[in-house]
Structure 1
């Protein structure tokens, strides 16, 4: 019976550990095994330094304190928590009642001359305990599992809500793939902690405390010797647990490395095969897997040593207790039923302590996952509305003003993107921005949308400084057509009305006609209900771009930003897209980034940038004859005669 109960306890331990993924080190190249410690100093070139320095708080590896966040989330459902605790108490009490009834059966049944009524009554009571144990276990499983799913759902929603508040610059400094893995792997680990680990921990804690109290009631002197070994259990848990969490987090890092490398290689498979780099990528992946295995092996060794030591101490104490009990029975000091109850209860207590040692490791892993999610929850948006935002004038005019603007990207502070940039754009004016790569053209768009704030100078829309207005209200006045039409994994209707979610089908078709997209949209198998694939893979580049233009048309904003919207198209697609753009630009203030100068000859004004500054501005004819940077660019594209 002792062996059966111990095995039953072992079977209740948490199995199938979910591999939480820490994201701080994921990337195309993984680091060596010498970076296991969590307080590895960061270099100035680390693009994710700001995010990762918080992530590597040395104190985070010393406790399960981050689990407080999970408890607070579960505390929003006090009724379910109380029912789960009641169920846990019932199951623990019912389990501990079994040795008490064994004592009753042996002492009052077998030793009383075999009274069948007593034996039958004792077994009826034990059967009732089993029924209560079964019902309590079902209740515990339902309520605890419900809490686990609910807490994970709530945390995912809170994290996503906060992520949507963060400026795009945050995702340039921190990999979106890494962040998304926190929403999956880490939340799954938390679900395991709440739905299983915490339940197992509390149940075994109740059984350990209750069983020890029962042993004190049965054989107080013998039990005292067993209690003396508790410090010998707590100390190894503390020492090994701290190291275990550190190595567990590193193990999760290695898994993240593998995931990031897999996504990178699979996403660039054409390049890998085109340059015959399959063997190199195979070796890189093999090295990453081996590093992951080496770290996991280290974690397993620490955990095995901790478990072995604690089991040695606990079961050694149990053996001594059983020996002293056997001596007591032989001398007549205690009854056979008592020693049977002591043996069974001691087995339950030992199993509970053994389960607690393993559960503690899972709690540490859950604490690591909670701390990583807490970092996302605590991340503050760099761009936020002021306490009292200034209202933009109505109706909108569409004027833009840049005055002495200087800006450096947070990841490239040593290189200015804009230097003392000043530009006034009148309502309804079309201004083309040209210049070599790295001149600062795209930075202007980033600042207009207020994805970043400049370090110096002011930007105004309709006379209102962007820093004084609500960013959401600013963006409502802007329609953006990117260089490559970005579409979502959804149907055509949802992609089109992303610019105006309340648009009717009639509005959508009108915008599609204006964008020269009606023909191919009507030819789709289910029309607007056709699923376009991931990033619109079922469409050509020109078709995706025309959908992006239709989306901007539905936006119906007074300011239009065009980022080289025809650069990657063939001649026929370019003509269709350009016709759509001409209609879109009518009666709107338009900023156009262009490398192909043929697309901006008709602009009201052309601004030529170099090294973050305006070096020329004027019409195409004036600039082409001026002999400056624009004239050189035009000569390269058109030839000297045509440029002039």
Structure 2
């Protein structure tokens, strides 16, 4: 699994290499859309019937035209001629009306299918991506994924909702016109068919080039999207370092590369269209010339020639449209290939086929890490945890402290099973996390990250994210417990106030209290607090710490602490350094014996404060 994810990540982020290395040279990747078409087989059949109806109606027009010329214009009696012409024109109008009805029905059905299938495809890709483990996002840019969700699916929509229908319609029309021409002028059309075969071979070469360049073009667009997504999420930093011009230049260079690739693709596609149309016109004009010679020799009638002219026009126009459609199909094949690559990615973190049930945890979960060895996939030579053993009894509060990079956050990620260990066991309530259902495992863990995540919705819905089925009263109660109720009610629309993208309308402390309220509402037996009070001022910190103390009752709590003052009264403090547990004990015990803990304390407290804390 890990290797497949790595391969996918390289394909996603390879940029130019991915484009240049695209080997598929056909529309075969479009077959990946078949599972999305199957649920709508009935509508596809209807669309096909309307399509065939429109094509056949078009093919009937030259026959009606022949009858008009040969029968409506030959009578010597003016009265009979007027009646005959009137009848033939009514027949032609009937053909036109039928064509209009069939075309309208075809347009509606294929447009509906295009919109519906594209929506299903977007939903499938998005649902698949959000299930990927953090390992996937270590090497995959968000902008790349967004490009596939938007640009690539739009190309697929163009094919399913328009180009494919036009291609099928013109294929039926072209083949029908060709058959009629062969029937009416077999010798001439045999010569034309021979010439057309010679047209196909160069067209295939052009098509392969267009296919490769289409994939490369999509990759370049994705590169630009990735840059834009990254910079727009960091605008304050960009502006604080006055790098606006540099970032604009970087984006400009990326779009220039995308434009250059698109120009090469367009040039090649234009050459394909020009070659096919020119060669086809030449072949069919030869057939038309032979037809006019046949009229001069008296072998066919004027109406027969008119019929032949219309069929020639239909055939030429069909081939011209098919040349355009073929280019669209090649571009959509490149987009489909990229989407199918994404859908084929399998996360290495999945629920087992037969998960073990987690025992009830009335007073909090039991947590156990035994001889855990873990290396991040992006840093396989550097152990993040090396032989770590930590046991936490139900209801205990245990703090993890240590310098940056000691492995504190890694412990949280392994408990949530964002990654799997390379050695040792991580268990909750006696069940190794590998053997538990992912949903059941994560449902009993409440997380308050250091960087609070606020969604672009109301304050009420942001808190309710912790338990979507919670009532408004339960949401408000959680907000009060997190000391967030007062500032929420002070917002223009109270709990219904829109908080902006990433909570830009709130201060850092307010965002943190929303996040804490969300975790309190979830009411999980295990709380993971990643320095939950780091963004608060002193007054707010005291209030929220009191709320957390209340929330931690009856459940197990693991706290990552950068400020030792927030965890002095924890049941136990575990000191980590370079991925190893170097000591464990109470604040007082560690001050007395742990050199690393003493250095950490000395960096945060004055000697007098340290003495006071020690005496406490």
Instruction: Report the TM range for the smaller structure's normalisation.
Output: over 0.9
Q: 2:424 aligns to what SS in structure 1?
A: strand
Match 2:84 to one of 106, 118, 125: 118
Q: 1:98 is matched with which residue?
A: 61
Question: Which residue matches 2:606?
Answer: 639
Given the alignment of the two structures, is residue 622 of structure 1 paired with residue 585 of structure 2, yes or no? no
- The secondary structure found in structure 1 opposite 2:231 is helix
Task: Select between 189-198 and 575-584 the one with higher mean Cα deviation.
Answer: 575-584
Structure 1: 5+ residue runs without aligned partners? Answer: 1-21, 40-55
Determine the structure 2 residue equivalent to 1:583.
550
Q: Give me the whole-angstrom Cα distance separating, in 2, the residues matched to 1:626 and 1:373.
A: 57
Alignment of 1:541 with 2:508, yes or no, is: yes
The answer to whether the aligner puts 1:67 opposite 2:34 as a matched pair is no
- Whether the aligned pair in 1 keeps the contact of 2:584 and 2:590 (CA below 8 Å) is yes
Aligned mates of 1:299, 1:82 — CA distance in 2: 34
In 1, Cα distance between the equivalents of 2:222 and 2:510? 36
Tell me, yes or no, if the aligned pair for 2:474 and 2:521 is still in contact at 8 Å: yes
* Structure 1 residues 269 and 543, CA gap change in structure 2 (3 angstroms): closer
1:611 and 2:600 matched: no
The 3 A distance-change label for structure 1 pair 533 and 237 is same
Judging changes above 3 Å, is the alpha-carbon distance between structure 1 residues 152 and 523 closer, same or farther for their aligned structure 2 residues?
A: same
Q: Counterpart in 1 of 2:416? A: 449
Partners of 2:12 and 2:179 in 1: how far apart?
A: 49
1:200 is displaced (CA, Å) by 0.5
Deviation at 1:294, TM superposition (A): 1.4
Q: Distance in 1 between matches of 2:417 and 2:87?
A: 79
Q: Among 122, 127, 140, which residue is 1:156 paired with?
A: 122
Shift of residue 111 of structure 1?
3.2
State the Cα distance separating 1:162 from its structure 2 match: 2.5
Work out the CA distance in 1 between the residues paired with 2:52 and 2:356: 57
Give how far 1:37 is off.
4.9
For residues 294 and 566 of structure 1, the distance between their equivalents in structure 2, rounded to whole angstroms, comes to 50
For residues 263 and 166 of structure 1, do their structure 2 counterparts lie closer, same or farther at Cα, with a shift above 3 Å needed? closer
Residue matched to 1:230? 196
Equivalent residue for 2:5?
A: none
Please give the alpha-carbon distance, in whole angstroms, between the structure 1 residues aligned to 2:66 and 2:82.
Answer: 16
| Corresponding residue of 2:3 | none
Task: Measure the CA separation in 2 of the matches of 1:225 and 1:517.
Answer: 84
Corresponding position of 2:406:
439
Pairing partner for 2:109 from 143, 148, 161: 143
1:23–1:253 CA contact under 8 A, matched in 2: no
Q: 1:277 to 1:173 in 2, by over 3 A?
A: closer
1:80-115 alpha-carbon deviations (Å, 9 max, x no partner): 111111111111111122222221111112233362
For the 8 Å contact 2:575–2:597, the answer to whether it is kept is yes
Pick one of 237, 241, 259 that aligns with 1:293: 259
The match for 1:430 is 397
Deviates more, 1:225-234 or 1:142-151: 225-234
- Show structure 2 runs of 5+ residues with no match: 1-7, 612-616
Per-residue displacement from partner, 1:363-399 (whole Å, max 9, x unpaired)?
Answer: 1111222222222322223111212111111245411
Counterpart CA distance in 2 for 1:219 and 1:243 is: 36
The secondary structure found in structure 1 opposite 2:383 is coil
CA contact (8 A) 1:545 1:577 kept: no
Instruction: Rate the CA distance shift 1:274–1:493 in 2: closer, same or farther, 3 A.
Output: closer
8 Å contact kept, 2:218–2:335: no
Partners of 2:118 and 2:156 within 8 A in 1? yes
**Over residues 468-525 of structure 1, what are the superposed CA-to-partner deviations in whole Å (9 max), with x where a residue is unaligned?**
1111111121111110221211112211121122222222222222111121122233
Q: 2:332 aligns with which of 347, 366, 371?
A: 366
The aligned counterpart of 2:4 is none
Query: Which SS does the other structure have where 1:577 is aligned?
Result: helix
Is the CA contact (8 Å cut-off) linking 1:36 and 1:246 kept in structure 2? Answer: no
Residues 1:459 and 2:426 are matched in the alignment? yes
Q: Partners in 1 of 2:120 and 2:267 — Cα distance?
A: 35
Q: Structure 1 residue 31: deviation in Å?
A: 6.4
Deviates more, 1:500-509 or 1:109-118: 109-118
More off after superposition, 113-122 vs 441-450: 113-122
Q: 1:243 to 1:545 in 2, by over 3 A?
A: same
Single out whichever of 370-379 and 99-108 deviates more from structure 2.
370-379
> 1-side partners of 2:491 and 2:573: how far apart?
39
Cα distance per residue 1:197-231 (max 9 Å; x no partner) = 11110001001100001111211111111111232
Q: Does structure 2 retain, via aligned residues, the 8 Å contact 1:26–1:260?
A: no
Partner of 2:321: 355
Query: Helix, strand or coil: the match of 2:465?
Result: helix
Query: What corresponds to 1:558 in structure 2?
Result: 525
Choose the corresponding residue for 1:393, options 355, 359, 367. Answer: 359
- Summarize the alignment of residues 251-270 of structure 1 with structure 2, pairs less than 5 Å apart: 251-270=217-236
Q: 1:375: which partner in 2? A: 341
* Counterpart selection for 2:42 from 54, 59, 79: 79
Larger deviation: 216-225 or 633-642? Answer: 633-642
The count of corresponding residues between Structure 1 and Structure 2 is 600
Distance across 2 between alignment mates of 1:344 and 1:302: 31
Is 1:420 the counterpart of 2:387? The answer is yes
CA distance in structure 1 between the partners assigned to 2:416 and 2:385 by the alignment: 16
Relative distance call for 1:72 and 1:618 in structure 2 (3 A) is closer
Change (3 A) 1:491 1:576: same
CA contact (8 A) 1:25 1:253 kept: no
Q: Contact (CA 8 Å) 2:143, 2:222: kept in 1 or not?
A: no
Q: CA RMSD in A?
A: 2.0
| 8 A Cα contact 2:370 2:389, kept in partner | yes
**Separation of aligned partners in 1, 2:131 and 2:351:** 10
More deviation, 392-401/547-556: 392-401
Quote the residue 1:5 is aligned against: none
Moved more, 108-117 or 551-560: 108-117
Once residues 627 and 473 of structure 1 are traced to their aligned partners in structure 2, the CA distance between those partners, rounded to angstroms, is 38
- Write the distance in 2 (CA, Å) between the matches of 1:353 and 1:284: 42
Residues 423 and 576 (structure 1), Cα distance of their counterparts in 2 relative to 1, 3 Å cut: same
In 2, Cα distance between the equivalents of 1:631 and 1:507?
A: 43
Matched, 1:284 2:250: yes
Q: TM-score w.r.t. structure 1 length?
A: 0.89
**Matches of 2:434 and 2:243, distance apart in 1:** 48
What secondary structure is seen at the aligned counterpart in 2 of 1:165?
A: coil
Distance 2:557 2:492 in 1: 35
Partners of 1:319 and 1:520 lie apart in 2 by 80
User: In structure 2, do the counterparts of structure 1 residues 36 and 155 end up closer, same or farther at CA, with 3 Å as the change threshold?
Assistant: closer
Q: CA 1:638–1:253 in structure 2 vs 1: closer, same or farther (change >3 Å)?
A: same
The 3 A distance-change label for structure 1 pair 345 and 368 is: same
1:478-517 alignment to 2 at 5 Å? 478-517=445-484
